[in-house]
Structure 1
Amino acid sequence: MRRVVTPTVITTILALTLAGCGGQAGGAGSGGADAAAQSPAGEAGTVKVEANNGTVEVPANPQRVVALDSTAFETLQAFGITPVAAPKQLLPANMKAWADNTAILDVGTHREPKLEVIAQAKPDLIVGGKRFEKVTPDLQKLAPVIDLAPSTEKDGYVDALKKQTNSLGEIFGKKEQADQLVAGLDKAVAAAAEKTSGQKVFLANHNGGKIDNAAGRIGVLLQPLEMTDVFGTKADSESIHQDSGLAPETVAQADPDVMIVMDRDAATSTTRDTATPASQTVAAQKAWANTTFTKNDAVIYLADNFYVTEGIQAYTDAYTKIAEVLGASATATS
């Protein structure tokens, strides 16, 4: 159950925040005075950002950042930002440096966010959105909030990733690094688009040791590609949490040319080393022995942490893998 935050609680939290802003505590941060000295923007001033929650004026090169948006974690880390607080239970396995850093406060999860911990962190910027979108109004009482998270329920996911990266680059004075990330995504998308020509694809989710439909979560992958989802499921990010009862025989009857797999089990299992890999579950489906995607070895496995990242790095990797697998498949069948 998500914690219900009353106006009284918010008022108390805000009072604590204002009481502490006269002398910021040490600990994790984006680099303190040294970081500010390295960036002209960090000396003074603000940056106006067009975000999902409106036009937000934020401090240039903020020093105390609370990172809540999973799609931005890897980008912030790439920019050399160490947050003062983050939802440690939601961090992907490749962000162990944040998870193990005791100076970074743990704000809980989106289901029960610890607003008092965020207040204790005395942030000058909160990178919100995605899973924490519902508490944005509460967070705005504590510090400026930017919601730059792309939505799987809207068109233009790739463009939204680029906008998010460029905006963060502007805020933190990391334009060159942002440009490199955007260029890498553009290159990967172009490579994948070159290998697609109307193929039928099954977008799969490996959850609870079963293969189900993941179109509601990863359907946006197809937006810049010439591919057709065999089931055409309407975007709904919550659909991958339920068992739709999709039978292997139904997939075989649709006979997709390509299969793209998101392994939710690998991303969320507390014992990742012992979780059954999606590839093992796929290989065990006897009904798929004669499908086109099996015969052509056209199964694409997204990174194990894709489900808990979904940022520019995750999509760059995904399009790179699509290009590689489809390229190899085309060579093998020619």
Structure 2
Amino acid sequence: MNTVRRSRLFLAVAATSMLVLGACSTDTTVDAGSGDTVTVDTANGAVEVPANPQRVVALDNTSFETLKAFGVEPVALPKPIMPYEGFEEWIDNEEILDVGTHREPNLEVVSEAEPDLIIGGYRFQEYTDELNRIAPTLDVSPTDVGYIESLKSQTSALGEVFGKQEQASQIIAQLDAAADDAAARTGGETVFLANVSAGKIDNGAQRIGRLMEPLTLTDVFAGEAGDVHGDSGLAPETVAQANPDWVIVLDRDAAAGEPGAAPAKVVFDAQEAFANTTFTTRNQIVYLDPYFYTRESIQAYTQAFESISDAFANAG
């Protein structure tokens, strides 16, 4: 391991330790003092769980990629809302039970899975009390404020629970490196955070505004209304008039598997109003991974920062 890598990894581990020591009720702290159990301070208070649990029900989509990286195969999952790409072996495995969506989860299936641990929270947050009656339930999902830092706290906590501390530190270091590089390459440019939903373009700041936390970019619609789940669409002429330097695009249609939906790039290319904008003429549009909306994991954000960094490095 070279000197730069060692230094970056050391800083990531140190930062994680500071987060653990300074966490409040919505952050994550870990105390693995007993050896056979781990106490995690979650959004709902301290929860004691088995160390390295063998039967895990995973409901929080932001945890899926980290669990997979740790070699943890859940016994039950919300299959309809999972990104299919990268999780085919879990979705197609009939021995892994299907809990359904967060709108109507089948809690009987969760109980049938006989879990030692349930990783809940995020879209399943309102069911925490009911899930706790089945098995210890962790809500270590990222928070709306300080999302990027809380992704790191989540990863650190899961590393403690599953005895994968070193691997967790490496995952965190990769995010730090990608975010730092993207931050260094941005310099106050204006940006439109777009969401393509139902074939229309909306303000996506409510969903992907978290990307701005480490970046030096200016959102052209900051503070203005823009419901990412709305169906009214944002007038292309409004975007063109704002004329942002860059656009970062979330393709919600692709992630949600909307049948017959046009890819986000096709929707953007079809907008005549965008023809003379800066972002079009300079080809300064960053399309996030099509499954970003259903991933939202530390790995998804690492990849997003890498894409932003590459795009800015090749601009001009």
TM-score normalized by structure 2?
0.86
**8 A contact 1:215–1:233 mirrored in 2:** no
Q: 152, 162, 186: which is aligned to 2:152?
A: 162
One-letter code aligned to 2:69 = A
**TM superposition shift of 1:270:** 5.2
Match of 2:82 in 1: 91
**TM superposition shift of 1:210:** 1.2
Match of 2:234 in 1: 246
Match of 1:298 in 2: 284
Match of 2:98 in 1: 106
**8 A contact 2:243–2:277 mirrored in 1:** yes
Task: Give matches, 1:181-330, under 5 Å.
Answer: 181-233=171-223, 239-269=227-257, 271=259, 275-329=261-315
Find the residue that maps to 2:61 and give its secondary structure: coil
**8 A contact 1:215–1:234 mirrored in 2:** no
Write out per-residue CA displacement over residues 20-56 of structure 1, whole angstroms, 9 at most, x where no aligned residue: xxxxxxxxxxxxxxxxxxxxx8x96111112122211
Identity %: 55
1:62 aligns to 2:53 (yes or no): yes
Find the residue that maps to 1:303 and give its secondary structure: coil
**8 A contact 1:201–1:228 mirrored in 2:** yes
Match of 1:45 in 2: 36
Match of 2:27 in 1: none
The count of aligned residue pairs is: 283
**TM superposition shift of 1:217:** 0.7
After the TM superposition, which parts of structure 1 deviate over 6 Å for at least 4 consecutive aligned residues?
Answer: none
**TM superposition shift of 1:244:** 4.0
Alignment partners' CA distance in 1, 2:141 and 2:224:
20
Alignment partners' CA distance in 1, 2:294 and 2:59:
12
Match of 1:171 in 2: 161
Structure 1 residues 116 and 234 mapped into 2: Cα distance closer, same or farther (>3 Å)?
Answer: farther
Alignment partners' CA distance in 2, 1:110 and 1:148:
17
**TM superposition shift of 1:233:** 3.9
**TM superposition shift of 1:327:** 1.1
**8 A contact 2:198–2:231 mirrored in 1:** no
Match of 2:25 in 1: none
TM-score normalized by structure 1?
0.82
Find the residue that maps to 2:38 and give its secondary structure: strand
One-letter code aligned to 2:287 = Y
One-letter code aligned to 2:133 = K
**TM superposition shift of 1:310:** 0.3
**TM superposition shift of 1:291:** 1.0
**TM superposition shift of 1:243:** 2.2
Alignment partners' CA distance in 1, 2:225 and 2:215:
17
Structure 2's unaligned 5+ residue stretches are 1-31
Match of 1:36 in 2: none
One-letter code aligned to 1:243 = D
Alignment partners' CA distance in 2, 1:270 and 1:299:
23
Alignment partners' CA distance in 1, 2:281 and 2:231:
27
One-letter code aligned to 1:286 = E
Alignment partners' CA distance in 1, 2:314 and 2:283:
9
Alignment partners' CA distance in 1, 2:56 and 2:285:
39
